Amino acid sequence: MAISTAAPSTTGTRVLAMGRAELILLGRNKMALYVALLLPVLMVWMMRRTIGEMDFGDSGMSLNEASLTGAFGFILLFVVYQNLVSAYVARREELVLKRLRTGEASDIEILGGTALPAVAIAVAQMVVLLVAGVCWLDLRAPARIDLMLIGLVFGLVLSIALAALTTAWAKTVESAQLVTTPLLLISLMGSGLIVPLETMPDVLGDVCGLLPLSPVVELVRGGWLGGLSAYKAVGHVATAVAWTVLAVFAVRRWFRWEPRR
C-alpha cells in the first residue's frame, strides 16, 4: 500500500502546516489579534507615562533605555504567553489537540506549531523595537547581541512552556484570561519590566531576580545596553535554564491534551 512517490511529512512541514492554520485562526479572532498587536504598544506607552518622572540614577538608564528593553518582556507576556494560553485552551476544549495527537506530529511539534504565529509576531515586534531604538531613539547598537539572543530564546521557550502549564488551571477560553493574571502581575512588577531591578532595594532586587522572566529581561537589557559582568550573565543564564527545565518538566507532567470530563 505504501506509495513510493509519497511525500513524507517532516517536522518542518508539520509545524508549518499547523502554524499556518493557527495564523488564519488568529486573523479571525479580533480579540486575540488586538492582544498580540496593540497591547504591548499600549503597555509600553502607559509605562512611559507612569515612570516618566522617575529617576533611574541607580541604574544609569534613560527612560528610553529602560522602556525599550522592558518592552521585550511585555511582548513575551502578552503576545506569546497570554495569547498561547488562550490558543492552547481553545484547541484543547475543541478536541483539536487530541485529534492532532492521532496524527504524525509529535507532542512538541503540536505545541510548537500552535505557537508559531505568536512567536513570529513577537520576533517581528522585537526587531522593530531594536531598529526603532537604534535608528530613532538614540540607543546604542547592542553591546552583546549574543546575550540578547540567548535571553530571547530562553524567553520564548519559557513563555511557551509557562503558557502550556497555565492551561492546566483553565477550563474555558474565558477563564484562560483569568489564570494568566498571577504571572502577568508578578512579572510586570518584579521582573524589571517597569521598574528596573537595579533601582530596587538590594534584597528585593535579588529576590525579584529569581522570578521566571527576570533573567530574560536582564540578559536582553544587559546585552543591548552593555555593562553586564560575565559573572552576572552566567547567573542569569543559570536562572533561565533552571526555570525552563522546571517548566518543561511541569508541562510534561501536568499538560492535558483533552478536556477534563
Partner 1 sequence: MDIGDSVIAVSGLRRRYGPEGDGGFEAVRGVSFTVGRGEVFALLGTNGAGKTSTVELLEGLERPSGGEVRILGHDPFVERAAVRPRIGVMLQEGGFPSDLTVAETVRMWAGCTTGARPTEEALGMVGLTDRRSVRIKQLSGGERRRLDLALALLGRPEVLFLDEPTTGLDPEARHNTWELVRRLREDGTTVLLTTHYLEEAEALADRLAIMRQGEVVASGAPDEVIGAYPSRIRFAMPVGWFVGDLPPLAELGVEGHEESGGRIELRTRTLQRTLTGLLVWAREKDVELEGLDARTASLEEAFLAIAGGGGPGADAGSGVSVGAAAGAGKGE
Note the residues at the interface with partner 1 (CB under 8 A).
Answer: 1-3, 5-9, 13-14, 16-18, 20-21, 24-25, 28-29, 90-91, 94-106
CA angle, residues 75, 27, 244, in degrees to nearest 5: 35
Indicate the residue among 11 and 64 with the shorter CB distance to partner 1: 11
CB of 114 to partner 1, least distance (A): 10
57 CA to centre of own chain: 29
- Helices marked H in the chain: 11-27, 30-37, 39-51, 63-74, 83-93, 96-101, 107-135, 145-166, 173-179, 181-190, 202-208, 214-225, 230-254
98 vs 173: CA distance, rounded Å:
17
Cα–Cα distance list, 31 to 10, 80, 170, 185 (Å): 32, 14, 18, 20
Residue 165: count of CB within 10 angstroms of its CB: 22
* CB 256 to partner 1: min, Å: 13
Closest approach of partner 1 to the CB of residue 258, in Å:
9
Nearer to partner 1, 26 or 165 (CB): 26
91 and 114 in contact (C-beta within 8 Å)? yes
Q: Residue 238: how many CB atoms within 10 A of its CB? A: 11
Measured from the CB atom, is 2 or 203 closer to partner 1? 2
Q: How far is the CB of 34 from partner 1 (least distance, A)?
A: 16
Do the Cβ atoms of 84 and 118 come closer than 8 Å?
yes
Residue nearer to partner 1 on the CB measure, 90 or 130 = 90
Q: How far is the CB of 17 from partner 1 (least distance, A)?
A: 2
Give the amino acid at 253. R
Residue whose CB is less far from partner 1, 100 or 130: 100
When the beta carbons of 69 and 114 are compared against partner 1, the nearer one is 114
Q: Coil, helix or strand for 134?
A: helix
Task: Give the shortest CB-63-to-partner 1 separation in angstroms.
Answer: 41
Nearest residue (CB) to partner 1, 110 versus 217? 110
DSSP 8-state code for residue 9? P
Shortest approach of partner 1 to residue 106 CB, angstroms?
A: 7
